[in-house]
Chains A and B, each alone.
Chain A
Amino acid sequence: MSRLASTGLAFFVFSAMVAALYAVFLYAPTEGQMGLVQRIFYFHVSSAICSLVAFSLVFLASIQYLRRREERWDRLAVASAELGVIFALIVLITGPLWARPIWGVFWRWEPRLTFMLITFLMYVAYLMVRAYAAGSVEQTRRFAAVLGIVAFVNVPLVHFSVNLWSADQQLHPQKVELAPEMVVARYVSLVAVGSLFLFLLKRRMELELASQTLNRIRQELDGERGDDGP
């Protein structure tokens, strides 16, 4: 992507974020039962969607890496996993802050919360495998790709858990009804957080490319030095 396109994307993210904050705090009405705290919903849900999209990208990129062994798929997988963990962390922090005044507790072991936590921990494990696994780079990438595929099992469970369990076994609502202004604020927030996610994903992938290139040059130089040496 050219520098101009990159600057354009950054400008779009900034504009979308300003629009989202306006929509969330000034345009959308205050919800009758929950009051002000319901406004957490807009960025909480958008972050949750971004994290699940990121984990789905890890799954697809891992399959492609195992099929083709091309570094670009590995770059997409690691960048997506890192961002998925960041957005899942946001969900796991903002969720309890929303839950406390509404449900009376910060945390309860209900299906969606539990699956979200498990998913978060599995992708933290994925990143730890990438960072600390012994063995060659190729082996680590292969192992991480397998883990990236296996960990994806949780993603549909997070999404569908509210419908898989009965309403009395969970705190998340099975159906959400919003005023039209709230629906607008929800989509504007999703565009803003989604574009921020794409921007960070692009930057993270560029960083990974630079890191991979540097490692390759280092290996070549080490080889050259070794050949010329005594």
Chain B
Amino acid sequence: MEQSSNLTYLFAAYTAFWAVLFGYVLHLMSRQKDLNQSIEEMRKLASEIRRGQL
């Protein structure tokens, strides 16, 4: 009984470890996506400036 309850805490701790890291990696990926989008917008803006549209 005690071993099985200990197993729950062990499982919870390792799940938390991976969940926090997985969440952080997802956060980094989302920031990377936003950054790529901004780079694309900058490219468009730069080409418009070069063509003298702005």
- A residues at B contact (CB < 8 Å): 34-37, 39-40, 43-44, 47, 86, 89-90, 93-94, 97-98, 100-101, 196, 200, 203-204, 207, 210-211, 214, 217-218, 221, 224-225, 228-229
Contact = CB atoms under 8 A, between A and B. Distances in A.
B20 A35 contact: no
A204 B35 CA distance: 13
B13 A94 contact: yes
Interface residues of B, number: 27
Interface of B: 2-3, 5-7, 9-10, 12-14, 16-17, 20-21, 24-25, 28, 31-32, 35, 38-39, 42, 45-46, 49, 54
Nearest to A43: B17
Contacts of A203: 28
A217 B14 CA distance: 43
Contacts of A44: 13
A208 to B, nearest CB: 10
Nearest to A196: B21
Given A40-B13, A43-B13, 11 more contacts: A35-B6, A44-B13, A93-B16, A97-B12, A200-B25, A203-B28, A214-B35, A214-B42, A221-B42, A228-B49, A229-B54
Contacts of B46: 217, 221
B14 to A, nearest CB: 7
